[in-house]
Amino acid sequence: MMNVIWLDTIDSTNSEALRRLPELESGTVLAAREQTAGRGQRGNTWFTEPGKNLTFSIVLKYGEGGLPPLPAKDAFWLNYVISVAVADFLQSHAIWCKVKWPNDVYVGKNKICGILIENALTGNGLAASVIGIGLNINQREFPQLANATSLWSLTGEEHPLEECLEKVLALIDGWLPYLQDQDKRQTLFSHYSRRLFNLDVNARYHDYIEEREYTGKIKGVSEDGRLMIWDLETPGKPIRYYRFKEVGYII
């Protein structure tokens, strides 16, 4: 069960959750009506109109009083839990979304949700995770962003933020136990994989390891959380495996 704390304005719910991490219990959610310095992946800024969208962070702790322990090497499963829960939320509004690995949620060519997970480690296990989610709900225009959309843009209806948050949290709560055992992970994995953005489609990719661009086809995600891209430009057409930040999409 999650316990939601609404804040009127804060720099970033992720930053606030990290600052207050020692005192916050597992399952605490900090939700902001306005973020003044919302953070995105790769040091980007997350812009949203105040009062229009969901911007919140979930604190999870592992071990006593929290979730069962999770080895750091399995942290990527959290991406799948959140992506699949957000996908279910959108599906409940008759919207079919795709997940741009590891965890951007797209409807068509437009991004509707961004996820920023920050973990605290102890040894080789996770001590806590701060899961930041920015989900566009009622915003109608995105002046700074070329490829963004919202629930309003897709349904033509306004949706109360509190209700949307409750619904998303309930779905996340439902998927969290799927982290635990191998069989459940398979189910979670297949729900995630079938929504992979660009699956089996020819597209351009930037390989940050070799610093080159090429045409390839996403073939899936490996069991250890790496993105598999079939390199169509290299003789022998090898499949390349990428960890987070090792590959970029050229859109």
Q: Does 220 bind ligand BTN (CB under 6 A)?
A: no
DSSP character at residue 229: E
Angle of CA points 9, 11, 12, to nearest 5°: 100
* Gap between the Cα atoms of 145 and 26, Å rounded: 34
Per-residue x/- track, 53-72, ligand BTN (CB under 6 A):
--xxx---------------
Between 68 and 108, name the residue whose CB sits nearer to ligand BTN: 108
Are 131 and 58 spatial neighbours (Cβ–Cβ below 8 Å)?
yes
**Shortest Å distance, C-beta 145 to ligand BTN:** 11
Q: Provide the minimum distance between the beta carbon of 152 and ligand BTN in the complex, in angstroms, as a whole number.
A: 18
Give the pair of three-digit tokens for residue 166: 């409750």
Tell me the closest approach of the beta carbon of residue 124 to ligand BTN, in angstroms: 26
CB 244, min distance to ligand BTN, A: 12
- Contact range with ligand BTN by CB under 6 A, out of 6-14, 59-67, 85-93, 207-215: 6-14
Residue 148 near ligand BTN by CB under 6 A = no
Q: Is residue 192 a contact partner of residue 180, using CB atoms and an 8 Å limit?
A: no
Regarding 129 and contact with ligand BTN (CB under 6 A), the answer is no
Report DSSP letters for 57-106, one per residue: EEEEEBSTTSBPP-BGGGTHHHHHHHHHHHHHHHHTTT---EEETTTEEE
By CB under 6 A, tell whether 104 contacts ligand BTN: yes
- The phi and psi torsions of 96 (rounded to 5 degrees) equal -100, 120
Residues that bind ligand BTN (CB under 6 A): 12-14, 35, 38-41, 44, 46, 55-57, 104, 114-116, 132-134
